[in-house]
Amino acid sequence: MRPRNPVLWLMTDERVPDERLFASLRRLPPGSGAVFRHYSLAPAERRALFRRVRRLCRARRILLSLAAPRGMGLADGCHGVRPALTWPAHDRRQAVAGARAGAALFVSPVYPTRSHPGAHVLGEARAAMLGRGLGTRRVALGGVTPGRFQRLRRLGFAGWAGIDALSA
């Protein structure tokens, strides 16, 4: 049985080679989470990689959320579509939609990040306000490190997610 409220989440990313992705998943402690994205892969290649990721996540007791499109096989829930386990929240409108879906909000980008160079960042204060009062868990994403998460936890964040911080 995998817990429903991980503190630590790995976001998959096409920039990370498969061997590093699987090494990162193996380093995650049981009870963590992963969001499978890999949007740009061809459908058959994406399904095959998803099945390998799902197998490892189940063996390691890692909660798995699947980003759209659906139809790839069973995950513990979806990212950004119903049945939602996790939801991207870059603004208040998305945060409200995620709360209505009953999902954990992935508030981003909190800090500058290599995966979205030059993107407008929320900063700690605006990120903390984004999902406040919606009655759902908030997970910080975008340039977050373990040290930064300790500050964000004091602002009400229940978890953090990363790509580079967890796949180096």
| Two tokens, residue 115 | 């995966």
Is 144 part of a structural domain of the chain?
Answer: yes
Number of domains in the chain: 1
In a domain, 160, yes or no: yes
What is the overall mean pLDDT for the chain?
91
Band of pLDDT at residue 118, cut at 50, 70 and 90:
confident
| Interval 121-168: pLDDT, tens | 999 999 999 989 999 999 999 999 999 999 999 999 999 999 988 986
Q: Which domain holds residue 135?
A: 8-167
Give per-residue pLDDT as tens, 66-88.
Answer: 997 666 667 888 999 888 999 99
56 located within any domain: yes
Q: What is the pTM of this model?
A: 0.93
Tell me, yes or no, whether 161 lies in a domain: yes
Domain presence at residue 22: yes
Closest CA to 53 of 82, 74, 69, 70: 74
1 in any annotated domain: no
In a domain, 66, yes or no: yes
Residue 3 lies in a domain: no
Q: How far is CA 33 from the centre of its chain?
A: 7
Q: What is the CATH number of the domain that holds 129?
A: 3.20.20.70
Per-residue pLDDT tens over the stretch 15-47: 899 999 999 999 999 999 999 999 889 989 999
- Sequence-ordered list of residues with C-beta below 8 angstroms from that of 159, at least 6 positions apart, any chain: 5, 6, 7, 8, 9, 33, 104, 137, 138, 139, 140
